């Protein structure tokens, strides 16, 4: 059932104890500017949760706060039961979290294989690198075909798959993914989001997905949260949400 909620209630979810990522009344932003105002959400092990909303709602800011790139002013943030608020990103990676920002951030002057090696060098011993790369190449066959090619020569969709594979080199239990379709053609968008579903199915990686393509986000996700003006205004199962629900949530 769809449920409209007000931010900042201070009440933990009934499922909080089961959540891999548990966010409660989180407040963060840029300097003194508060962009995220009391957001609460959960991501269960192995599920895809979509985070959608109008431009400026605070979606990307929320991901940055969770991943330690912005200071959290107040609220609670737990990963697998442990408090992680304001923990350094390098420590979060070692704890099982990965983050892919907007824009297919890869090393353009390195080959595909070198990019994958960079993705895992901080957390993986030399003996495991080849094994992890082989796993990524089986998950993304196009990368196996392009392994000696410079990343700058890849298409937009291929760069996005490389960015995903790079993040997955550390075998994260949860992936924070910020607008993977940004700047991609419809076909490349479909390929990128299909890859997200594939990695979730084959690896069991949980995903917190910010996505501008609402229809595609609903198609691949299990649950959805709608943000507006820095707060959650709607939480629903993706299969249950209607266009009327979205119109009210987006526009008020």
Six-digit token pair at 250?
């987006």
Record the pTM. 0.89
Dihedral of alpha carbons 148, 128, 43, 39, sign = negative
C-alpha distances (whole Å) from 158 to each of 98, 104, 194 are 19, 9, 13
Residue 106, CA atoms < 13 Å, CB-side half-sphere: 29
Reading the chain (252 residues) residue by residue, the pLDDT tens digits are 344 333 333 333 455 558 999 999 999 999 889 999 999 999 999 999 999 999 999 999 999 999 999 999 999 999 999 999 999 999 999 999 999 998 778 999 999 999 999 988 766 666 788 889 999 999 999 999 999 999 999 998 899 999 999 999 999 999 999 999 888 888 888 888 888 998 999 999 999 999 989 999 999 999 999 999 999 999 999 999 999 999 999 987
Q: Which domains does the chain have, with CATH numbers?
A: 16-105+172-251 (3.40.50.300)
Burial (Cβ within 10 Å: 0-12, 13-18, ≥19) of residue 172: buried
Spatial contact of 93 and 172, defined as CB atoms under 8 Å apart: yes
């Amino acid at each position: 059932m769809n449920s409209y909620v007000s931010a900042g209630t201070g009440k933990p979810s009934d499922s909080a104890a089961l959540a891999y990522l548990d966010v409660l009344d989180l407040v963060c932003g840029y300097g003194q500017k508060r962009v995220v105002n009391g957001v609460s959400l959960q991501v269960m092990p192995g599920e895809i949760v979509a985070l959608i909303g109008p431009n400026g709602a605070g979606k990307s800011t929320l991901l940055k706060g969770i991943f330690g790139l912005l200071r959290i002013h107040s609220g609670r943030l737990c990963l697998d039961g442990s408090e992680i608020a304001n923990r350094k990103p390098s420590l979060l990676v070692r704890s099982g979290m990965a983050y892919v920002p907007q824009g297919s951030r890869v090393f353009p002057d390195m080959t595909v294989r070198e990019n994958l090696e960079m993705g895992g060098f901080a957390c993986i011993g030399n003996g495991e690198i080849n094994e992890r790369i082989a796993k990524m190449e089986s998950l993304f066959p196009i990368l196996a075909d392009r392994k000696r090619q410079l990343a700058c020569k890849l298409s937009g969709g291929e760069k996005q798959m490389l960015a995903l594979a790079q993040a997955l080199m550390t075998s994260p239990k949860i992936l924070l993914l910020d607008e993977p379709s940004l700047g991609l053609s419809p076909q490349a968008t479909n390929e990128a989001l299909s890859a997200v579903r594939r990695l979730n199915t084959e690896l069991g990686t949980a995903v917190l997905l910010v996505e501008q393509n609402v229809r595609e986000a609903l198609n691949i996700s299990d649950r959805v949260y709608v943000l507006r003006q820095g707060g959650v205004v709607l939480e629903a199962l993706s299969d249950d949400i209607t266009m009327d629900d979205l119109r009210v949530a987006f526009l008020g």
